[in-house]
Amino acid sequence: DQVYAHLNDAAWVIVDCRHLLQDFDAGRRMYDAAHIPGAFFVSAEDDAAGPKTGTNGRHPLPDPQRFAGFLRELGVNADTQLIAYDAGADMWAARFWYVCRYIGHDAVAVLDGGFAAWTGMGKPITAQPPERPGNGTITPRPRTDLVVDANDVLQSLEGKTFSLIDARGADRFNGKNETVDPVGGHIPGAINRPFRSNYTGPFGQFKRPDELRAEFEAIGIPPQRIVHQCGSGVSAAVNLLGMEIAGMPGTRLYPGSWSEWSADRSRPMVTP
């Protein structure tokens, strides 16, 4: 209802982040078929990720200047409210939310339940893409305090400075049915919390804040000592957002995650 009330509000910019790892063109096809009126398409592989080298993971963080340039094309200013959505109960809107936070833009939110909730509640859709205004003025202010790198993780394995929460499904965490990365397993000491654990209801909305807080508190680690990771730094953003919703800010992300970590076979790993 909040998004619907702002459909024609120039101060609100809506982005469609739908994507499938199994089919990189699927998101664009879904967008072209139907999307929220006025929403712009975001490519998870091109707009919300940086160049891949083969050793830096499957979805490296984009260059802040380049990502800000993309947002300027959409008319985003420093005070623009961004709204990201995906298919619902997915990870791509949370990834966009995190990247915006990473470049210093905090006025960003995720549409709860995504496109499934929007259509399920009878809101309007269109196949007509909007024109990119190209007149945005946003400038990046990267927040390096929100990220850790592989060396930080390696040092933490020795010094126990933080704990890892892995957002992948239990099978992939345990090195089974690995179809995305060449090596199956997880980083030593990581705790598994599948990102879908944050969702409930018919459209895959986030659980209530008090439910999320109880679940994260049960892990027994203060937010300031938590680093989220997954396969490539995407689904981990859902756990990070879940903790924000729960009123537990201060966690960080390891963007390279398992896909970067496992690219160097000399790093410690727990494999089947």
Catalytically active residues, by annotation: 230
List all residues 6 or more positions away from 176 whose beta carbon is below 8 Å from its beta carbon.
Answer: 184, 272
Residue 40 CA to residue 195 CA, distance in Å, equals 25
DSSP 146-193: GB--HHHHHHHHHH---EEEE-S-HHHHTT-S--SSSS--B-TT-EE-
CB-count burial class (<10 Å; 0-12, 13-18, 19+) for 23? exposed
Residue 45 CA to residue 62 CA, distance in Å, equals 10
